[in-house]
């Protein structure tokens, strides 16, 4: 009795709202049964992340103060005073990490399965735009942390933009709200992160989904079968006819399960690893930290750090736009033909190559050996075994090594900066003359110290460096002087 | 009072207990930021250990011992130098040597209050105020005679060096297997007279050099002997030390 009354109420509502066709055109649409695969879950999981980001983002915006002098403080408040404020920040932080990672997986899957080919070219294009917007959200979000990483990261980002010919200067002041980083900068990034980019993303997601529905989900690729734009539509219609099943409630269960795992992982990561604490406040006079971006930009960070400076402008102005355009152009260049990855070895090799490069660069970025260790000279001790048994002159040499901040770039047996070579065994590599020349004239990326060291300082420094050899190794000698000297 | 109401109440209590446990467990989740990780501006750090580790270990070694720069983590040294001298040296540095000035007004990175915290911390952690309470230590600053006195002082210093120091440092320079030369012109160019005096008084027990009272000779050095030995070492300074670079010039000491 109860159920029939419910049904009557439902029918009454349906008559007025007309939801059924909407449902049949969306969640209830038919998908090829072979598309209900574990490979197809990344897109929906990315969407789930987006929803979580919006929810946690709204909560964060309740506390966050987008003003240059209070932003940093308000995050401190969330992290340390507000109950569970840290957890909220953790969720948003890990949500963004998962979102970027899942989106990348989704793109790789779509690429490998040839899903971008006819008739889904625009779906791919729209996806690429979504990818860029998401990276934009990640970057602007990082800036909102408004700590030293943000400060220096933004500085680097802006100097990248400044290199763009003609437009550079106006773009810079558009982004910064002036020629330098200031209060206006933060409010701009806030409105980008909270209004502009999410608005764009939502619009693009709607378009993206509309196209997925309209063109149907890509069928699971079959070996040896490609896309022929002439016949594809008929083939797809036939496939749906034969094997179609409604997405909801049939095909959706894998997506639901995977999304649940993703949500669980985000909850767990936030609980176990917590949020990323802002490091020092954005004060250009504090130089005690090594700025390092979040993981999605580590690879780019490494590229810029490792490239010789004269390559940077070239990379920014020419290579980056070309890479983005190439990404957009994929479906127009390879519009038809094989879909199955086994039939497309070059595409697979390309993915492997790109991903290994990006990962390697990111790992390099994680240790960022090229940045000097700014405090090593006064905070990293000279290893005791390099102090014991040294003469008074050699001891002073070690103090000179510290005082002249050589240690910021050079390690002694692994401790200290990693920009230059470890000096722990330098005596086995360089003779006294070579040491003196290297110290006075520099070379190989090392500045010349000739003007900054007095003769006794050079003598003491070289005397100390000459003692740095593992106990069993031979000391480098001048070959013209076999008796040593 | 009905039984149903009773169970409802106990159920409520159980629920309350569970939520308290869950909430407090949440509060100790591993991801919760540790207040100790809270960022402190370098100029707001007042903790002695942190200050010393961040600013001094590079040259003076961990715990102020076994670094290339003078021993600081030593009760005798701290009693002999005293807080006033320590504060002055850390603030102003030692000109002509590798010891930088740390006071912000002098181009350093520490505020006066932080330097006070460092000095107090060194005294509290490594000093033993009581141990030297009754003892008369050599004064921190030595005296130097006039020119005539200087010649005598050098002659006396040479003799005292022979008695107390030559065993390890060799009377003519060049050093012995136990210790290196203290007459190297480049070494002397990079050490202050006060630094030499400190080495003689406090020694480097961390590196095997005895303090002024602990020499194998069987008696402590007198104030005069300390001053004379320093004068004698300082007399080996040369006008152009460290040239040519390839070899610190062999000892050609000026005789008094």
Q: Are strands A30-32 and A411-412 parallel, antiparallel or unpaired?
A: unpaired
Q: Does the pLDDT at position A375 exceed 70?
A: yes
| pLDDT at res. A484 | 42
8 Å CB contact of A79 and B33:
yes
Long-range contacts of the stretch B34-37 (C-beta < 8 A, 24+):
B35/A80, B37/A277
If DSSP codes are grouped into helix, strand and coil, which group holds residue B37?
Answer: helix
Q: Are A393 and B180 in contact (CB under 8 A)?
A: yes
Chain B partners of A459 at a C-beta cutoff of 8 Å?
186, 241-242, 245, 248
Chain B partners of A80 at a C-beta cutoff of 8 Å?
33, 35, 38
Mutate to test the interface with B, among A72, A147, A393 (most CBs of B within 10 A): A393
* Weakest-pLDDT range from A189-193, A319-323, A405-409, B146-150: B146-150
Radius of gyration of chain A (CA): 30
pLDDT band, residue A229 (cuts 50/70/90): very high
What does the alpha-carbon distance between residue A368 and residue A301 come to, in Å, rounded to a whole number?
9
| pLDDT at res. B244 | 63
Q: Are B211 and B79 in contact (CB under 8 A)?
A: no
Tokens for A278?
């802002």
8 Å CB contact of B59 and A86:
no
* Weakest-pLDDT range from A24-28, A348-352, A472-476: A472-476
Q: Which value does ipTM take for this structure?
A: 0.85
Ranges in chain B, pLDDT < 70: 1, 26-27, 129, 143-148, 244-256
Chain B partners of A147 at a C-beta cutoff of 8 Å?
39
Nearest-CB residue to B181 (from A79, A87, A391): A391
Nearest-CB residue to A458 (from B42, B54, B245): B245
What does the alpha-carbon distance between residue B163 and residue B217 come to, in Å, rounded to a whole number?
8
Q: Give A411 to chain B, closest Cα distance, Å.
A: 12
CATH class (in words) of the domain with range B42-126:
mainly alpha
A234-280 pLDDT per residue, tens = 999 999 999 999 998 888 999 999 999 999 999 999 999 999 888 87
Q: Are strands A411-412 and A415-416 parallel, antiparallel or unpaired?
A: antiparallel
Tokens for B45?
């750090």
Tokens for A305?
């750090």
Q: Is B62 on the interface with A (CB under 8 A)?
A: yes
CA torsion, ordered B131, B134, B137, B141, to nearest 10 deg:
110
Q: Is B149 on the interface with A (CB under 8 A)?
A: no
| pLDDT at res. B250 | 38
Q: pTM for this structure?
A: 0.75
If DSSP codes are grouped into helix, strand and coil, which group holds residue A412?
Answer: strand
8 Å CB contact of A393 and B180:
yes
Q: Write out the H or E segment, with its range, that includes residue A56.
A: helix A42-63
What does the alpha-carbon distance between residue A178 and residue A278 come to, in Å, rounded to a whole number?
25
Mutate to test the interface with A, among B187, B192, B233, B251 (most CBs of A within 10 A): B187
Mutate to test the interface with A, among B29, B51, B68 (most CBs of A within 10 A): B68
| pLDDT at res. B123 | 93
Q: Is B254 on the interface with A (CB under 8 A)?
A: no
* Residue A324: C-alpha distances to residues A208, A284, A293, A329 (Å): 19, 33, 21, 9
Radius of gyration of chain B (CA): 28
Chain A partners of B184 at a C-beta cutoff of 8 Å?
391-393
Chain A partners of B59 at a C-beta cutoff of 8 Å?
378, 382, 398-399, 402-403
Q: Is B96 on the interface with A (CB under 8 A)?
A: no
What does the alpha-carbon distance between residue B211 and residue B194 come to, in Å, rounded to a whole number?
15
Q: Does the pLDDT at position A435 exceed 70?
A: yes
Helix/strand number for chain A, H first, E second: 21, 6
Long-range contacts of the stretch A343-347 (C-beta < 8 A, 24+):
A343/A223, A343/A224, A343/A226, A344/A112, A344/A114, A347/A111, A347/A112, A347/A114
* Residue A56: C-alpha distances to residues A68, A96, A148 (Å): 22, 11, 24
Chain B partners of A84 at a C-beta cutoff of 8 Å?
26
Chain A partners of B56 at a C-beta cutoff of 8 Å?
378
Q: Give A77 to chain B, closest Cα distance, Å.
A: 11
Nearest-CB residue to A387 (from B41, B54, B68): B68
Instruction: Give the other-Cβ count within 10 Å of A425's Cβ.
Output: 15
B148-234: CATH, from 1.10.760.10, 3.20.20.140, 2.60.120.10, 3.10.450.50 = 1.10.760.10
| pLDDT at res. B7 | 84
Chain B residue with CA closest to A88: the answer is: B32
| pLDDT at res. B253 | 38
Q: Does the pLDDT at position A46 exceed 90?
A: yes
| pLDDT at res. B255 | 37
Mean residue pLDDT across chain A? 89
Chain A partners of B55 at a C-beta cutoff of 8 Å?
378-379
Q: Is B185 on the interface with A (CB under 8 A)?
A: yes
| pLDDT at res. A285 | 64
Nearest-CB residue to B29 (from A271, A384, A464): A271
φ and ψ of A30, to 5 deg: -85, 135
A166-215 pLDDT per residue, tens = 888 888 888 887 766 677 888 899 999 999 999 999 999 999 999 999 99
Chain A partners of B58 at a C-beta cutoff of 8 Å?
376-382, 402, 407
CATH 1.10.760.10 segments of chain B: 42-126, 148-234
Q: Give B173 to chain A, closest Cα distance, Å.
A: 11
What does the alpha-carbon distance between residue B41 and residue B212 come to, in Å, rounded to a whole number?
42
- What residue ranges define each of the domains in chain A, with the CATH number in brackets? 28-365 (1.20.810.10), 384-465 (1.10.760.10)
Nearest-CB residue to B57 (from A271, A381, A396): A381
* Weakest-pLDDT range from A124-138, A268-282, A319-333, A395-409: A268-282
Chain B partners of A478 at a C-beta cutoff of 8 Å?
none
| pLDDT at res. A34 | 87
What does the alpha-carbon distance between residue B5 and residue B7 come to, in Å, rounded to a whole number?
6
| pLDDT at res. A409 | 86
Give B69-100 as a DSSP string.
SPP-S-HHHHHHHHHHHHHHHHHH--TTSS--
For residues A349-363, average pLDDT: 93
Q: Give A156 to chain B, closest Cα distance, Å.
A: 23
What does the alpha-carbon distance between residue B20 and residue A268 come to, in Å, rounded to a whole number?
20
Q: Does the pLDDT at position A483 exceed 70?
A: no
């Amino acid at each position: 009795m109860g159920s029939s009354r419910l049904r009557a109420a439902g029918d009454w509502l349906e008559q007025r709202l007309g939801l059924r066709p909407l449902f049949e055109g969306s969640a209830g649409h038919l998908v090829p049964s072979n598309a209900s695969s574990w490979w197809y879950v990344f897109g929906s999981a990315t969407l789930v992340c987006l929803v979580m980001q919006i929810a946690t983002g709204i909560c964060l915006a309740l506390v966050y103060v987008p003003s240059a002098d209070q932003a940093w403080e308000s995050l401190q408040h969330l992290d340390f005073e507000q109950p569970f404020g840290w957890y909220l920040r953790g969720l948003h932080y890990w949500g963004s990490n998962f979102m970027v990672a899942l989106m990348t997986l989704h793109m790789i899957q779509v690429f490998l399965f040839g899903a971008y080919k006819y008739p889904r070219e625009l779906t791919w294009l729209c996806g690429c735009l979504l990818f860029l917007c998401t990276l934009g959200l990640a970057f602007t979000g990082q800036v909102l942390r408004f700590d030293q990483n943000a400060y220096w990261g933004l500085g680097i980002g802006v100097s990248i933009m400044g290199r763009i010919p003609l437009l550079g200067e106006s773009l810079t002041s558009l982004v910064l709200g002036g020629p330098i980083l200031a209060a206006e900068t933060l409010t701009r990034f806030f409105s980008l992160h909270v209004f502009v980019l999410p608005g764009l993303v939502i619009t693009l997601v709607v378009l993206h989904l509309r196209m997925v529905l309209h063109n149907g989900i890509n069928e699971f690729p079959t070996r040896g079968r490609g896309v022929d734009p002439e016949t594809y539509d008929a083939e797809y219609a036939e496939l749906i006819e034969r094997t179609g099943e409604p997405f909801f409630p049939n095909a959706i269960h894998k997506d639901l399960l995977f999304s649940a795992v993703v949500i669980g992982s985000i909850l767990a990561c936030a609980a176990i690893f917590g949020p990323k604490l802002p490091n020092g406040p954005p004060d250009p006079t504090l130089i005690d930290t090594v700025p390092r971006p979040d993981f999605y930009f580590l690879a780019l960070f490494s590229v810029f750090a490792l490239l010789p400076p004269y390559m940077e402008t070239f990379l920014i102005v020419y290579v980056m736009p070309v890479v983005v355009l190439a990404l957009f152009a994929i479906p127009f260049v390879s519009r038809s033909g094989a879909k199955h990855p086994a039939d497309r070895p070059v595409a697979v090799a390309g993915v492997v190559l790109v991903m290994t490069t990006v990962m390697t660069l990111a790992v390099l970025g994680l240790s960022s050996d090229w940045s000097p260790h700014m405090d090593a000279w006064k905070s990293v001790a000279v290893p005791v075994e390099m102090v014991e048994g040294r003469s008074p002159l050699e001891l002073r040499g070690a103090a000179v090594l510290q005082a002249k901040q050589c240690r910021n770039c050079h390690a002694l047996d692994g401790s200290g900066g990693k920009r230059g070579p470890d000096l722990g065994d330098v005596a086995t590599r360089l003779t006294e003359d070579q040491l003196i020349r290297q110290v006075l004239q520099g070379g190989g990326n090392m500045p010349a110290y000739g003007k900054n060291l007095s003769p006794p300082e050079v003598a003491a420094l070289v005397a100390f460096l000459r003692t740095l050899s593992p106990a069993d190794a031979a000391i480098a000698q001048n070959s013209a002087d076999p008796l040593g000297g | 009072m009905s039984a149903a109401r009773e169970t409802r109440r106990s159920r409520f209590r159980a629920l309350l207990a569970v939520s308290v446990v869950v909430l407090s467990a949440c509060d100790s989740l591993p991801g919760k930021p540790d207040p100790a990780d809270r960022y402190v501006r370098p100029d707001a750090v007042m903790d002695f250990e942190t200050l010393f580790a961040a600013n001094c270990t590079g040259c003076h070694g961990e715990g102020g011992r076994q670094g290339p720069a003078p021993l600081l983590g030593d009760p005798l040294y701290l009693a002999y130098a005293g807080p006033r001298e320590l504060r002055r040296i850390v603030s102003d540095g030692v000109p002509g040597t590798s010891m930088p000035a740390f006071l912000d007004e002098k181009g350093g990175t520490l505020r006066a209050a932080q330097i006070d915290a460092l000095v107090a911390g060194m005294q509290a952690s490594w000093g033993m105020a009581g141990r030297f309470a009754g003892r008369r230590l050599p004064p921190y600053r030595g005296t130097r005679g006039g020119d005539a006195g200087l010649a005598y002082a050098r002659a006396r210093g040479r003799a005292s060096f022979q008695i107390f120091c030559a065993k390890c440092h060799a009377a003519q320079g060049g050093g012995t297997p136990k210790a290196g030369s203290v007459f190297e012109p480049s070494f002397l160019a990079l050490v202050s007279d006060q630094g030499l005096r400190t080495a003689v008084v406090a020694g480097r027990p961390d590196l095997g050099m005895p303090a002024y009272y602990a020499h194998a000779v069987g008696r402590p050095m007198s104030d005069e002997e300390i001053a004379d030995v320093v004068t004698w070492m300082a007399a080996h300074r040369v006008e152009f030390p460290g040239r040519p670079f390839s070899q610190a010039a062999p000892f050609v000491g000026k005789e008094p």
